[in-house]
Structure 1
């Protein structure tokens, strides 16, 4: 589908973030299993549940607006997930891998934060129902909170924080 209008672009971007969310639901369990930091493993498990809710929110948004998503694969998320897989395959379990996984997860969060921010701006420009837009706003808040949680884990005391500061 050609992206000739803001609505076409919006549908493309919403389809892209939907694909991104689906991909990250498949990656988070492996990231959780690979982490030796219990707080980090729990953050990944918790965010998996949130992400499943975010997918449901997109479904609700689509239903509320009558839009039809495109079947596509988010190549950006595919790359970010691949980077995380490489870390898991190449680095021994421990604080270095945990630090790498935090960085990989924050790259994902930043991608999602920018995506939802853009979607919210376009949805408002298109005059979409505020109740529908609020679904996107709720997800954006969750993504920002997940990023903050990852930062807090990275900044906690102990050997892991020291390793991160050396990098």
Structure 2
């Protein structure tokens, strides 16, 4: 019969693998966006920074998983990475691509925030104290990115509207 600690360990490791895959999905969403952004350099710069942060988050998750003698799930990483790529591609045909990407990125950051918050609860309840500083660092980065997107959304929307008025949707989108 599994103990409470065994159950928490299993749930924690599963959660770590899931978030590991989510971070790979984030990379597959952000990377094509950066390559397409032309008229919104602030967004491109912030996405580049967050891509670096995301790579660091994956490394921290790898470190935590290694402490449990396991690793991320290649299948989950690949599947979510592909779904992220498909989501990024879907927005490229939209006339308001930059606005739609901003909405999606804002929602995705909050999904990641909730994921890290949940992992922290499991880490604390399971006594996995070695993981909490690493998870808190990643949580802080996700909160900072979500805050930045929220603060930048008015600028993105206004610039999109201005470019659209001047040149039409083709120039305004990215």
> TM-score if structure 2 supplies the norm length?
0.77
Cα distance, 1:23 vs structure 2? 2.5
Partner of 1:106: 106
Residue equivalent to 1:13? 15
Aligned partners of 1:79, 1:107: CA distance in 2, in Å?
A: 16
Deviation, structure 1 residue 159: 2.4
User: What is aligned with 2:86?
Assistant: 82
CA distance in 1, matches of 2:76, 2:156: 39
Q: How does 1:131-150 map to 2 (within 5 A)?
A: 131-150=130-149
1:27-46 correspondence runs (5 A):
27-35=29-37, 36-46=39-49
Q: Is the 8 A contact 2:21 2:76 kept in 1?
A: yes
Distance 1:67 1:122, change over 3 A: farther
1:97 aligns with 2:97: yes
Conserved? CA contact 2:25–2:80, under 8 Å: no
After superposition, the C-alpha distances for 1:116-152 in whole angstroms (9 at most, x for unaligned) are 00000000000112x4211001100000000111111
Q: What is residue 25 of structure 1 aligned with on the other side?
A: 27
Shift in alpha-carbon separation, 1:119–1:77, aligned structure 2, 3 A: farther
The 2-side partners of 1:138 and 1:105 are apart by 19
| Superposed CA RMSD | 2.5
Distance, in Å, in 1 between the alignment partners of 2:8 and 2:62 is 20
> 2:11, 2:82 → 1: CA distance?
20
1:78 Cα deviation from its structure 2 partner: 5.5
Instruction: Show structure 1 runs of 5+ residues with no match.
Output: none
Q: Larger Rg: 1 or 2?
A: 2
Q: Is the 8 A contact 2:12 2:119 kept in 1?
A: yes
CA shift for structure 1 position 158: 7.1
Distance 1:57 1:102, change over 3 A: same
Number of matched residues?
154
